Each structure stands twice: as structure tokens, then as C-alpha cells.
């Protein structure tokens, strides 16, 4: 029996995983989106553990999360995910986040590359055979246009913040966790910007991340932004040698 | 039917919640200990939501966690908790963390005060009537001597690190989350100190925290330590005005 191309995983907002307004934290939501990618892929034979056996690894390149409402403390929520397209060097994965009654809370969009762990170069996904069949099973699911945009920082000469990669920042690969970059972005703003749960059902409402390089323990990254006061703020994160590790846009 | 004085809650180590060695992170473990305190208390009528109705709040004063082994990615674990004593101003809560087969992974010890939210002063728990009966039902559970010690920093004049309280640090009360102080402590050390999962089944093996004051958004705390190289490191966290917000001891 063929597996449906969409899988759904259910969670609840546990106390002590919310923000100050009692909404699910971006950290937990983000890491669960990555977790669901892993579960969905593993069920179809191309999960992290599967591809590592052939010297390959999935690498996150873009992540957009757009929320109408963040679930609140104690609330359940379901993350549905599916693969929505296979390009030469990238695969597109989509997500829908919904309340138990069906209310759509938000959507997420991600781009992943399959790289060779030897060469660190992307593998040509279009040349893959039957193995990639599950990646080609694109379901007919409604999805809004939340595609990533161009993120550019032009004028900033002085960093708005800096961060040195430490133990609690690390993921199992020993690099700064992808979602931790989102936290560094959010921490550029005063907590008042995020409002209360009632007035701001999701704050920010959209996060758009472009991942460019990895950050190792002890490395310092500096965050540059032209202007932090607008409704939409673009940020570039650079290592001391100028390498851009990530770009991000936060929309309130 | 009387509820047993011990409650047990089961969890699993989800991928993307581990440290670089694939062990459950201290952040998730710590927040789940607080969560289990809340669940256990609520089941007995004196949870966070119950006491707030009468203008009171539970405040964490000490937390010791001593682990023989941290559960690894994908593993299940159970947290059992019970109240082990009622003093005038404090109640003692104990925890056992165990693997599904029964292997004890570690223990935790905590001290909580019930304060009046008006006066911020502790309530005399010994003068409470029937309401406090569940706090007096002390079970006969084996428990090692992991009591908190004296944490003193004598000579440090220059901070080892500093941190300004930001949005992602906040708990639902709008203060720096109790477990976040543990992360600030751990981040004083180079990631190499924590070793790999095989060589270091728990690293550090013990954390002892004393909570003294709250940190609000925008406030800066500085971490002072006499010496970071020993097996046991004592740290004091102070605001700019000298107020000690927390002390901690990490034992590798």
C-alpha cells in the first residue's frame, strides 16, 4: 500500500515552552518543523539516517514560516508536511500548521539540498532513480504564496548585535542550530515589540531565513541591519572573516 | 480514592532537542522538571493556576539536578516527582529520572516557596490547614543525598561573561526563565568540556542552582567565577546594581 504523500504529526504546547505572552515559542515550533521533515522523510526511506549511509546529508537552505496565530499554552496543534517539488539541486518541502478543530494557524516553506558529505557539493536530484520516487509524489494541497524573498542589507556598518557560538547553541552536527539563528534575529528587538497574546496572535507573523554557511563552536557572528524600527526588518549575519552565514527577514 | 503521593510522567528525547553529543539537553530536562512540578501540584489542587486565584505564587528557590546518564536521542524517560517535606517557608520537591526499563538516570531536588503576589513575602506553610494536606503526604521513596551546597564566589573581579535579558529568554511571567540561567552557566565553558556521549554519559553530572532575584527584559547580568578550569565551578550572577540574581555550581 502506497503511503499518502502527506504526513501529519500532532503536538501540544507544553507549559515552559511558550514565550512571555503564552504563545508557542518560535524555537520549539521551528525545531518541530525540522523534526517533522525528518519523520516524513524517514517513513519514505530518505531520512537523515538513510542518506547518511550513502555518504549524503540533507541541508536546509531556506525556511519561511508565516503564522496567522501561534497556538497557546496547553493547546494542541498538528503539523502536516509534504514534498512539493524536485529540482536539480533542491527539493521543496511545505508545511501546514493547524489547530485540532482544523483552523489553519500557519504555513511553512522550506528548501533542502542533498549534499555529498565528502565533497560538500549538492547531488543532482533529477538524475536519481526509483529511490527518489517519494520525492516526486506531489500532492494537490492548497498552499498560499509565502515564497522566500530577496534579503539584502545595504548600509549597515556597525553590527546591531553579536554572538559567539557556545555549547547550548549546538545541534547534533556540532554547528549552531538552524532555529537558533531565528532566536538571534528575534533578540534584536525589545520584548515590547512582540506584544501580548490577545493583541498579537502571532508576533512576528513571518520569518524568512536563508542559510548560507555553518557556524562552529567559538566562532563569532555579527548581525547587521539597516533599520530595526520598520515592520519588516532584514538582517545579515556574518563571521569575523566576512562570510555570510545567514540572512533573515522578520515581519511584524 | 486518595491519589498516590508520587506521580510519574513519561517523555521521549525528540531529535532537535539534544546537545551536540546527542544527549537530552539540560534546557529541555530542566523545563520538564518544572512542568512536572506543575502537573503534580495541579492534580492535588495546589498548582500554579490554583494558588494564583488566592493571590499566591510558587517560586523556585533551589534546584539540584544530578545525572548518572542523560537519555539519548529517541530514548524514552520518565520523571517521577513527590513532595518530601513542608517547612515554615519552604516545601521540598524531589524527582527521579528513569529509563523505561527502570534504570535510574538521575535525581533532582528542589525547594519552593509560596509567596503572596501582593507582598512578595513567603506564606507560612506550617499554618495552612487542610488545603496543604497533599503537601504533607510524604512517600517513602529512596533518595540519595544530593542536597544543595553553599555556593560562594570570592575573588572574581572581572566577569567571565555577561548577558542582557532578551525576548527569547523570557518565561510566561516576563522574567528570565529559571532554566535559562543554567544555559548561561554552561555556556561559560568551551564545548569540548562536555565530551562525547560515549565518554561522558552526563556532562556535567551535577548542577546546583540558587535563585535569589528575577531578571527583567533589558537588564544585564554578569557572571563571576573564581576559576573555570576545575571539576567543580561556582558562579555568581549579578545585575549592574550588584543584586545577586542567581548562584550556580557546575560539577563535571
Rounded CA-CA distance A69/A29 in Å is 12
* Contact call for residues B10 and B71 (beta carbons, < 8 A): no
Mutate to test the interface with A, among B29, B74, B167, B175 (most CBs of A within 10 A): B167
- Considering only CB atoms, B187 lies closest to which of A22, A27, A168, namely A168
> Which pLDDT value is given to residue A134?
82
Which whole-number Å values give the CA distances from B233 to A218, B67, B121, in the listed order?
Answer: 20, 17, 31
Chain A's closest residue to B161, CA to CA, is: A164
Q: pLDDT for B110-158, tens place per residue?
A: 999 999 999 989 999 888 888 788 888 889 999 999 999 999 998 778 9
**A195-199 long-range CB contacts below 8 Å, 24 or more apart?**
A195/A21, A196/A21, A197/A21, A197/A22, A197/A23, A197/A72
Chain A's closest residue to B30, CA to CA, is: A16
Rounded CA-CA distance A180/A187 in Å is 10
- Considering only CB atoms, A35 lies closest to which of B16, B35, B217, namely B16
Confidence of residue B2 (pLDDT cuts 50, 70, 90): low
Instruction: Kindly tell me the sign of the dihedral angle through the C-alpha atoms of B29, B146, B208, B177.
Output: positive
CB count, 10 Å around CB of B3? 12
Q: Which residues contact A196 (CB under 8 A, 6 or more apart)?
A: A21
Which whole-number Å values give the CA distances from A194 to A26, A118, A123, A236, in the listed order?
Answer: 12, 43, 40, 21
Rounded CA-CA distance B95/B82 in Å is 7
> Which pLDDT value is given to residue A156?
79
**What residues in B contact A193, CB-CB < 8 Å?**
167
**What residues in A contact B172, CB-CB < 8 Å?**
15, 18-22, 73
CA distance A127 to chain B (A): 30
Is B162 in CB contact (< 8 Å) with chain A? no
For B195, the grid coordinates are 565530551
> Taking the CA atoms of chain A, what radius of gyration do you get in angstroms?
18
Is B14 in CB contact (< 8 Å) with chain A? yes
* Contact call for residues A93 and A110 (beta carbons, < 8 A): yes
Query: Does B186 contact A174 at a Cβ distance shorter than 8 Å?
Result: no
Omega before A204 cis (within 30°)?
Answer: yes
**What residues in B contact A20, CB-CB < 8 Å?**
167, 170-174
Query: Which of B49, B134, B151, B120 lies closest to B91 in space, CA to CA?
Result: B134
Burial B150-167 (b: 16+ CB within 10 A, else e): ebebeebeebbbebebbb
CA distance A129 to chain B (A): 29
Is B35 in CB contact (< 8 Å) with chain A? yes
Is A19 in CB contact (< 8 Å) with chain B? yes
Rounded CA-CA distance B82/A127 in Å is 58
Rounded CA-CA distance A105/A70 in Å is 7
Query: Does A217 contact B190 at a Cβ distance shorter than 8 Å?
Result: yes
Is B200 in CB contact (< 8 Å) with chain A? no
Q: Which of residues 126-145 of A touch B (CB under 8 A)?
A: none
Q: pLDDT for B27-65, tens place per residue?
A: 999 999 999 999 999 999 888 888 899 899 999 999 999
Is A167 in CB contact (< 8 Å) with chain B? yes
Strand partners of residue B63: B110, B209
* Contact call for residues A87 and A126 (beta carbons, < 8 A): yes
Q: pLDDT for B96-115, tens place per residue?
A: 999 999 999 999 999 999 99
Query: Rounded to the nearest 10 degrees, what angle do helices B178-186 and B26-43 cross at?
Result: 160
Is A181 in CB contact (< 8 Å) with chain B? no
Element (H, E) at A146: none
Is A31 in CB contact (< 8 Å) with chain B? yes
Q: What are phi and psi of A43, to 5 degrees?
A: -65, -20
Element (H, E) at A249: strand A244-251
Please give the average pLDDT of every successive group of 10 residues along chain A, which has 252 residues.
87 94 97 97 90 92 98 97 92 97 97 94 88 85 94 88 97 96 98 92 96 97 94 96 97 96
Is B176 in CB contact (< 8 Å) with chain A? no
pLDDT at position B1 over 60? no
What's the farthest any 2 CA atoms get from each other in chain B? 58
Rounded CA-CA distance A93/B29 in Å is 30
Confidence of residue B5 (pLDDT cuts 50, 70, 90): very high
* Contact call for residues A62 and A111 (beta carbons, < 8 A): yes
Instruction: Kindly tell me the sign of the dihedral angle through the C-alpha atoms of B152, B157, B158, B164.
Output: positive
Query: Does B189 contact A167 at a Cβ distance shorter than 8 Å?
Result: yes
Rounded CA-CA distance B174/B196 in Å is 35
For A118, the grid coordinates are 565528502
* Block residue for cell numbers 504555513: A107
CA distance A166 to chain B (A): 5
* Block residue for cell numbers 535559562: B180
Query: Does B18 contact A217 at a Cβ distance shorter than 8 Å?
Result: no
Query: Does A172 contact B15 at a Cβ distance shorter than 8 Å?
Result: yes
Query: Does A19 contact B190 at a Cβ distance shorter than 8 Å?
Result: no
Q: Which of residues 83-102 of B touch A (CB under 8 A)?
A: none
Is A215 in CB contact (< 8 Å) with chain B? no
Angle at B173 between CA A201 and CA A163, to 5 degrees: 80
Mutate to test the interface with A, among B10, B12, B15 (most CBs of A within 10 A): B15
* Block residue for cell numbers 546594581: B241
> Which pLDDT value is given to residue A8?
98
Q: Which residues contact A129 (CB under 8 A, 6 or more apart)?
A: none
| Torsional class of A74: left (φ above 0), alpha (ψ -120 to 50), beta (otherwise) | left
Q: pLDDT for B206-239, tens place per residue?
A: 999 999 999 999 999 999 999 999 999 999 999 9
Query: Does B172 contact A217 at a Cβ distance shorter than 8 Å?
Result: no
Is A226 in CB contact (< 8 Å) with chain B? no
Amino acid at each position: 500500500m502506497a503511503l499518502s504523500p502527506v504526513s501529519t504529526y500532532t503536538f501540544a504546547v507544553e507549559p515552559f515552552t511558550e514565550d512571555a505572552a503564552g504563545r508557542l515559542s518560535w524555537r520549539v515550533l521551528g525545531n518541530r518543523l525540522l523534526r517533522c521533515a525528518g519523520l516524513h522523510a524517514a517513513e519514505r526511506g530518505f531520512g537523515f539516517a538513510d542518506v547518511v549511509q550513502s555518504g549524503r546529508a540533507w541541508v536546509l537552505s531556506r525556511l519561511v514560516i508565516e503564522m496567522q496565530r501561534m497556538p497557546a499554552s496547553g493547546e494542541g496543534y498538528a503539523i502536516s508536511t509534504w514534498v512539493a517539488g524536485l529540482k536539480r539541486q533542491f527539493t521543496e518541502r511545505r508545511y501546514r500548521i493547524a489547530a485540532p478543530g482544523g483552523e489553519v494557524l500557519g504555513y511553512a516553506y522550506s528548501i533542502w539540498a542533498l549534499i555529498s558529505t565528502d565533497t560538500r557539493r549538492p547531488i543532482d536530484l533529477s538524475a536519481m532513480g526509483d529511490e527518489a520516487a517519494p520525492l516526486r509524489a506531489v500532492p494537490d494541497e492548497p498552499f498560499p504564496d509565502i515564497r522566500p524573498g530577496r534579503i539584502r542589507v545595504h548600509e549597515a556598518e556597525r553590527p546591531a548585535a553579536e554572538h559567539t557560538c557556545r555549547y547550548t547553541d549546538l545541534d547534533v552536527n556540532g554547528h549552531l542550530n538552524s532555529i537558533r539563528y531565528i532566536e538571534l534575529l528575534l533578540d534584536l528587538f525589545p520584548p515590547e515589540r512582540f506584544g501580548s497574546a490577545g493583541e498579537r496572535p502571532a508576533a512576528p507573523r513571518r520569518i524568512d531565513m536563508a542559510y548560507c554557511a555553518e557556524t562552529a563552536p567559538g566562532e563569532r557572528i555579527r548581525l547587521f541591519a539597516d533599520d530595526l524600527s520598520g515592520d519588516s526588518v532584514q538582517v545579515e549575519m556574518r563571521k569575523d572573516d566576512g562570510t555570510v552565514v545567514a540572512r533573515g527577514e522578520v515581519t511584524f
